[in-house]
Structure 1
Amino acid sequence: MKTDFQFSNLLGTVYTRGNLLFSPDGTSLLSPVGNRVTVFDLVNSKSHTLPFAHRKNISRLALHPSGNLLLTVDTDGKVILTHVLRRIVLYHFSFRSAATALSFSPCGRYFAVAIGRRIELWHTPTTPDAGDDGALEFAPFIRHHVHTQHFDDVRSIEWSSDSRFFLSASKDLTARVWSVDAIEGFVPTTLAGHKQGVIGAWFSETQETIYTISKDGALFRWEWTERPSRKNELETTENWNIVERHYFQQNHVDVKCATYHAKSNLLVVGFSNGLFTIHELPDFTQIQNMSLSQSGIDKVTINKSGEWLAFGASRLGQLLVWEWQSESYILKQQGHHDSMNCIVYSPDGQRVVTAADDGKIKVWDVKSGFCIVTFTEHTSGVTACEFAKRGNVLFTASLDGSIRAWDLIRYRNFRTFTAPTRLSFSSLAIDPSGEVVCAGSIDSFDIHIWSVQTGQLLDQLAGHEGPVSSLSFAADGGSLVSGSWDRTVRIWNVFGRTQTSEPCQLQSDVLCVAFRPDSKQVAVSSLDGQVSFWAVSDAVQVGGVDARRDVSGGRRISDRRTAASAAGTKSFHTITYSADGSCVLAGGNSKYMCLYDVQSGALVKKFTVSINLSIDGTQEFLNSRNLTEAGPRGLITDSGDISDEEGHMDRTLPGATRGEASSRRQRPEVKVTSVAFSPTGRSFCAASTEGLLIYSLDTTAQFLPFDLDVSITPDSTRKTLQDRDYLKALIMAFKLDERTLIRYVYERIPRSDIALVVKETPGEYIAPLLRFIAQQADESSHLEFNLLWIEAIVSSHGRHLKDLSGQFTAELRSVQKAVVRIQNELKRLAEENSYAIDYILAQPTKKDALVRRELDLGSDDDAMDSVEFDGDSNTSGDWEGFDT
């Protein structure tokens, strides 16, 4: 089994805090997600997470006008300069303090950053594709100016269209006008008059008007006018003066964010009650007024064309893109605003289902990264979810005392299972045939069994002396394994005449159990940090791993012991087998996930879930400088205004370790609540505090040649292809392992020769050929061509694949996934065009039209006789090849 899994995407969380950015072309949206940045492609409906990660949560983003350079600043002032298109990190830098505003100039030569009340102007680092001379700078960050005239934190920085001036809005109730370079006669101007902190300030398109808006909802319009001098009434002075005042009539509501589009004169304002308004300036005409969220809107931005508005609400983790002209959503995504409890892959591997303490069930598309549907029927936290092996049926268990079955084709709840008494279900298992559902509870020691067809309770399995923590069905449906807090694991024969169980005694409470895919072995994780393996046939332990040192690591900010001495307090709460059953992946209340080899018990690889220091348990050593007389500095809240009660209000219960992961207020602790391998074995996902982490095998270019000699080159491969030696050319391309060359040879093999080429292909090339075809089926548009290759492989090497099914599990599942996707797309396409096809078939043919025309000219029989249909007539060419 390959183990070089790399982080590929982050799902489950779409926005946490910070500002939002549109790409220069307006088709993509950049959103800060904790200490990472996610890019949403609004046209192609895809998303991806940039590979870099900060050590703290990101507070500000800025994108170069060319769209290639991205500046990200975390809450400690650490800066990462990234090339967005290539997805590589170019430079690390530090402002040594948190940045409150960040913006590039329209020309791209400068960027301004606000650090508290200080404004610093910097030269933009140049790159080979952005610099004038195409040369890299030795010192990428060069400071140009520093301005310190503000008396409180600066909230926003906006540039003029010619990049000569910029505006700063501050909490000191003023806005100021600055020039980039020294201009004769120009004096920095202060715009004062607001009664509360200024949220934003903008130039109009002509730069003759300035708009400022404050927290209390006051909008001022400033113009460059002449006024009589105070010293001499005969003299006049020119200055920026208030010419008009407008107010948003919103009672007990504050303005939280605002943006202005100069070309269309649109002002968009977001309020603390989730309402947003669109006004046209300078007349202050209201165009739209709509409520988007149940909590306040933290950030709003508008794309370059002024058509799309992006809103971010951090409390509920919402991200919305609104097209205001058509009043429709372009993007509407929301992550879980509470801790995720469980995840599961769909049988085809194309979707991931997440369930959380907020009572919601979300279905995520792995390829696009978007949430497809959200189910909200549960009234309490959802603790377990499982797919039926056949069909699109999902089962979920909840603390509200119900087990629900969901149809993922019609997206509805079609069956609900309940116990005779009110119980809070915590574990779930589904029979592979989909006929029986089993659930365990923390309130009862029995295992409840229902019939899926009738919804009736069939039986209750008694035997455990403690709450049932985990359940798992064997893949062959012959056995059910259950783990309990009574320190035992029991293997049940549910469908036997005598429902007996084989108890397996452990030394500590059982947290999780999992069946191996071949149904011959069970993996058990216990509270003492041990992972043990048991044979199902005779209920005997066949192996084990002491994982206490592997799972230990990381300290909470309030810990008094070092991470090394805290070993034994952590354990694996979730465990799963890989697709081929050779490895197990385990995660728990630790920042590490561990991959173990089942046969030897050796640690194969350790994955670090997060390096975000804004979350507890991610650092090994604590800094004594962060300890104060009032306790750890990280537990002292310094966010929000002094007058803002909502900014300082702590709604968490004493001792609560779970909370709203999207708000990141109460320093949640890093942990992994669930892990799952994809059916193909090429990726796995983990539900963590940060969100849903997707790890996949490294897809970057790798050079892994075999059986290679000096005669095999790209040129010789193309020459062999031109000589029509297709099999030899294909093998040479696979030996070089260059994807572009393989695709070149693959697409130029004639359809008539596919079966012969596949039949003569050596066995060692079948696996890479299957992987390549599966990738081609997802990327290329040659559907029939790819299906012909798959058919030829199955026909020629079917027996070989069946005899060695364990070695080809991942490849076969990848091909199956591709075939299912093609089938679903063709089915959807046929259904969408069924009416168009019926309409086309119902249209009259050319022959019918001619007959109808002749009938219209004369209704007598002579008119019909004048129409000739034989081949000797002058109209015979019109009917050639036409099916009458």
Structure 2
Amino acid sequence: MIRFCTKSVIVAVLTAAFSVSHTSAASAQSFDLVQKGHINHQYSVNYADFSFDGKHVLTASAVGLQAKIWGQDDNGIWTEKATIPHEETITSAVISTDGRHVVTASKDNTAKIWGMDESGNWMEKATVNHEGEISSAVFSPDGQYVVTTSDDCKAQIWGMDESANWSEKGVISYEDCVNKAQFSPNSKYVVAADDTGNVKICAKDENGKWVEKITFAHQAILTSIKISPDSRYVVTQDLDNDDQVKILSQDNSGNWSETTNLFGTDKYSQIEFSSDTLYVLTVNEEKVKVWEQNGDGTWTEKGCIAQSDEITSVMFSFDSRHVLLVINGSEHMVQFLGRDDAGTWEAKGSIVHRDAINTAIFSRDSQRVVTASEDNTAKILGLDNSGSWAETFSISHEGCVHSASFSPDSQRVVTSGEDNTTKICVKDDRGQWIEQASVSHGGVCSTVMFSPDNEHVLTACTDSTAQIWMLISKKSPPINSIQKKSGACTIL
């Protein structure tokens, strides 16, 4: 998935297709880039997302006080299906994992849950009321619950019954504004925190009600809450450098407790779990370590590298065999660690940018990495025969590159830059990357998203519009022949 535009204006609305063949004999190919939907808001579009099934799009304008749900008709055109109004700024807008529900949150003290019936019609299912502004509302991974956070010092948990009706299932009370709340991956727990650093973990009882399991305190406001993919660990991080990270674990009876020395005696600034929860990455000012989980729940150090520069982000690959470290200090680089067949982790190369790196992510197949940098380039990296990472393609913009992401099938990359353009690159028949299309905007794009079927790109802009594009392959014309129609889109 990929995010698009916040500061952007589409100069022209494309209603025609743009066709061109590539001039390389080995990769002759042509395709159409077709606009399939044009969504208008009164003000900048701040939220835009595809549903997980790719059948709906949700957009929202914070200042415009509206969220809109769009669906794809049988002819492939996207049309508006519902408008969700609020009286104050919209603070979040989310689609459930099953694509059948939407929740929006607003500073008007309400969160609204909308649902789709069997006929495909959308309607309001429930309104969650707080006595203060609502900062967020999110679904549980199974789509059955919603948790909201508010300035009224409460988080509310709502649930859906078998008749698809929503009702309150629990309230988590604090002494200060609640700023964070999220569900565990198994949807059985909620972790919420307030502005003073107090954190509570709640669980669902046998009657379907949510009850508090444990409370613990930080000395400063939290910057993040991470829950391990197996839902057995919670890692919270705050702004206090002396006591920054806390780790809680769950025993076989479902009881939670704070753990110490789980990953040695060092203090850490970052902790990241692999997708299978078999590995953990720990980061502090001196070292980066990889730990492997043993059968008894203890952890063994499997790799360590020294480092002195600031690590701004870390990520495991989806297959849990690789780690990337984004370093923005005296140098700007992405460093890699890899796991061999014996289970040992070691350095596997690095890539350098001339300026700050904004993002670096793995593809879904774990075989590629794309970076985006302030040096006006995005770089695609691949694994060589020795298992090390090396640059395979560079994408140039005329300004810093804000975002870069892969399509779900790992075969396409989209980038968005300060030069007001979005570029789409694909692999040709030889497995080499080529720049396939470029879309010009009247402003900077900062959010882009590929659809789950890899065929659509969603753009959301500060010109009050969001647009849905479809990339359609077709039979190639003769080599070296080029057709190009005028407009804001160029096929390269």
TM-score by length of 2: 0.46
Q: Which has the higher contact order (CA 8 A, sep 6+)?
A: 2
- Of Structure 1 and Structure 2, the greater strand share is in 2
Instruction: Looking at secondary structure, tell me which structure has more helix per residue.
Output: 1
- Which structure has the bigger radius of gyration? 1
